[in-house]
Structure 1
Amino acid sequence: MSRRLVFWLIGGGVVAVVAWAAFKPAGAQADKSGPGGRPTVVALVDSKLQDVPVRYEAQGTVTALNSVELRPQVASTIREVHLKEGQDVQKGQLLFTLDGRNDVTKVDQSAADLAQAEAQLADAERNLVRAKEMVRQNFVSQSAVDTAQSTADSQRAAVVAKRAALNSAKVGLSYQSLTAPFAGRAGAIDVHPGSLVQPGSTAPLVTLTQLDPIAVSFTLPQAELPRLLAAQQSGKIPAQALLDQNGTLDGKLTFIDNTVDAASGTIRLKAEFANPKRQLWPGAYVRIAVDLGTDKNAVILPVGALQTGPEKQFVYQVGPDQTVQPRDIRLSRIFTLEGKQYAVVAGLEAGAKVVAEGGQNLRPGGKVTEAKPGGKNDGKSGGKGGPQAQVADAQASH
């Protein structure tokens, strides 16, 4: 036998061994999870019926119920500033005084004109009384009474006009004093005594923001709109602001927008909270939860049991012969109970045994065996790290 022939025989043997090594493990692995093959070690769970509180959480933005930029209504100069930056103020508290000496003079002049008109009216009414008395005694004609009556009516109208002028002057004077329209917190102040201010200026004198109560604006999927409206009809909808360090602040839902955002498919909502300790601050982000009643007799499963297919979600249901078949389900929502996440599903009856962990490498008709509590996987279940690692991968994929 020549060396060349020996070389070709050895080379062909090596190729055959490599091909066998490449294809045999794949076939063996397929047999393990297929019908009649070696069972895959998985964790199983029974679906349960349970009354589940309907609670939705969303990221919200703290917004003030009232925020106003104070601006002057007349051109004048600042005479006195009665507050400091960042100060809490009460409704009606005096904030700024402008130079109103000219308006004070107008008020005084109008008051004097009114007093004069009232004196003239009193004289005209006395003359009218005398004229009527003289007519009864036939000392004057009726025309004298008519003249006196006309004079009195004219003076009465003059009094009304002068009183209106006085009120107008008082309104003008009131523009020289700026008060807080509601209780809140003052922002930055960019004016000082002597500063010239006028209507239409770019910068306000100060921005006043209400902090108590305060609101949180957030959104929920439009699919929850019917439940939101039904809960609103039945009464107050409780809400909670989830603060740092596990603190909460109780409030209520006060606003459901009248349109759905077509771009995002969400509905805008607003909840109101008492905020005496200033735990919520305008512009800050906060997690908010809304309670919408209870789902009676809901079918629940651990989130790890859910599998995602090309078109829909499903679970592997275990039959009496310990084989698995996919069962299409519809996920309603996910909630947390005692630190664990559960899914509310439709399309699965209560008491169904499904694969909770280790279902990533299963195939329809594959046999399974239940992992012993606290036991170790032998590594032959067809997935890396056994059921626990597979569940971590499944939750990451969701």
Structure 2
Amino acid sequence: MPSPQDASPRRGSFRTAAVILALLAVGGGLWFFADRDGRAQPKGPPPGMGPMVVSVSVTKARTGDAPVTLSGIGTVTPLKTVTVKSRVDGELTEVRFKEGQFVKEGELLAQIDPRSFEAQRNQYEGQLAKDMALLENARADLARYDNLVKKDMLAGQTKDTQASLVRQYEGAVRSDKAQIDNAKLQIEYSRITAPVSGRVGLRKLDPGNMVKSTDENGLCVITQMSPMSVVFTLPEDQLPKVRRKLLAGESLPVTAYDRTMSEKLAQGKLATTDNQIDVSTGTVKLRALFDNKDEALFPNQFVNAELLLENRRNVVLVPAAAVLRGPKGAHVFVVGADNTVSMRPVVTGLAVGTDVVVDSGLAAGETVVVDGADRLRDGSKVSIRQDAAAAAPNA
């Protein structure tokens, strides 16, 4: 067993080895972080250099118009849609329209066999001639009886009976005339005409079919294409502003867009609002009218309606990307003459496409940072990119 005197030199050698290893580790670390010349990289910017310069894109705040719009989803609703039906029963002998054809009000669409109605008219006209002859004879007899009664040569009761017979024939004549008029009306109804101007849909009956006035489907459907209306909804909170404009007699433009809001379909104006609010949805219906000469709006088409409430002129506009949000609210970075930026609090308003209205805090013509603002601080130095510098004066 080794003595304590022998163990002490061993402990000393272990401590020496540990110190050497630690020195080697520190030296290796210094070598790892050293540059190629063997010198350690200094911390922070090189001596004599100023603050970091940030490359940014800029634009100028400009004046423009800011339309105040209200948007709602709606449906293209024709002002007139009529199912063309026959008013009489009979055989359909002729169809004069083509599917998809535009027809005018009063234009002949189809013909029903009128011969049975013409026969009835002739019968009633014959009965009228008979009753007219009887009436004339009865009136002549009444005139003779009247003279005899005045000479006390005939009892008054006979005269009264003859007068009653005259009135009876007069009633028969009126009845005959009414039946003739009805027969003529049936003949007129056998000619089916367009009740409104519009475009004809698909045909539902062909010639040779028996038509009844009780048929629900009818012959076809005519839809008025011009003018056309769009019925859309707005939240009830927006109704007072619209009503004030309407009651003041102002004309409020309405633009119809497609389902994706990518294509403008038609331009019209607001016609009226509904007379009550839908309590289940908290919305109100509005109707806008469109000329629709090009038939861009199709019945029952889903559209987005944009109502122009007012147009604010000469407001300050900047790209929405220039406005940053922070704990203290919205702000922009304004570039000074020495390419130093200052953080400017602003009050923003409406969004106009990719721009935003600045209600206060910025003047037209001032240069603001659009891209690269996330690396800036108040007082930072910037270098304006060449493409942005060329575009800024035209903004």
Across the aligned residues of Structure 1 and Structure 2, the Cα RMSD in angstroms comes to 4.9
Q: Which residues of structure 1 form unaligned runs of 5+?
A: 19-27, 29-36, 336-340, 378-387, 389-398
Shift of 1:49: 7.0
Q: Are 2:246 and 1:234 equivalent residues in the alignment?
A: no
1:324 equivalent among 310, 321, 343: 343
Deviations 1:39-87 (A, max 9, x none): 8666677877766555667776544322222233454332221222222
Moved more, 279-288 or 148-157: 279-288
Partners in 1 of 2:143 and 2:232 — Cα distance? 73
Partner of 2:275: helix, strand, or coil? strand
Letter in 2 for 1:324: M
TM-score normalised by L of structure 2: 0.66
Partners in 2 of 1:146 and 1:4 — Cα distance? 156
Deviations 1:94-127 (A, max 9, x none): 2122234333333333333333333333333333
Partners in 2 of 1:4 and 1:160 — Cα distance? 139
Deviations 1:137-159 (A, max 9, x none): 33334333322332222322333
1:183 equivalent among 176, 184, 197: 197
- Are the structure 2 counterparts of residues 52 and 143 from structure 1 closer, same or farther at C-alpha, using a change threshold of 3 Å? same
- Are the structure 2 counterparts of residues 50 and 188 from structure 1 closer, same or farther at C-alpha, using a change threshold of 3 Å? closer
Equivalent position of 1:271 in the other structure: 289
| Aligned partners of 1:237 and 1:290 also within 8 Å | yes
Shift of 1:278: 4.0
| Aligned partners of 2:276 and 2:284 also within 8 Å | no
Equivalent position of 2:221 in the other structure: 207
Q: Are 2:265 and 1:252 equivalent residues in the alignment?
A: no
Partners in 1 of 2:254 and 2:179 — Cα distance? 52
- Within 5 Å, which residues of 2 pair with 1:1-398? 2=17, 6=21, 10=25, 52=66, 54=68, 61-199=75-213, 201=215, 203-220=217-234, 222=236, 224-232=238-246, 233-239=248-254, 251-260=268-277, 263=281, 265=283, 267-275=285-293, 277-284=294-301, 290-295=307-312, 298=315, 300-307=317-324, 314-316=330-332, 323-324=342-343, 326-327=345-346, 329=348, 331-334=349-352, 341-344=354-357, 348=360, 351=363, 357-358=370-371, 361=374, 366-368=378-380, 372=384, 374=386
Partners in 1 of 2:281 and 2:326 — Cα distance? 26
Letter in 2 for 1:116: K
Letter in 2 for 1:282: P
Partners in 1 of 2:303 and 2:145 — Cα distance? 80
Q: Which residues of structure 2 form unaligned runs of 5+?
A: 1-15, 34-43, 45-50
| Aligned partners of 2:138 and 2:165 also within 8 Å | yes
- Are the structure 2 counterparts of residues 138 and 218 from structure 1 closer, same or farther at C-alpha, using a change threshold of 3 Å? same
| Aligned partners of 2:335 and 2:368 also within 8 Å | no
TM-score normalised by L of structure 1: 0.66
- Are the structure 2 counterparts of residues 9 and 81 from structure 1 closer, same or farther at C-alpha, using a change threshold of 3 Å? farther
| Aligned partners of 1:39 and 1:366 also within 8 Å | no
Q: How many residues in Structure 1 have an aligned counterpart in Structure 2? A: 352
| Aligned partners of 1:89 and 1:183 also within 8 Å | yes
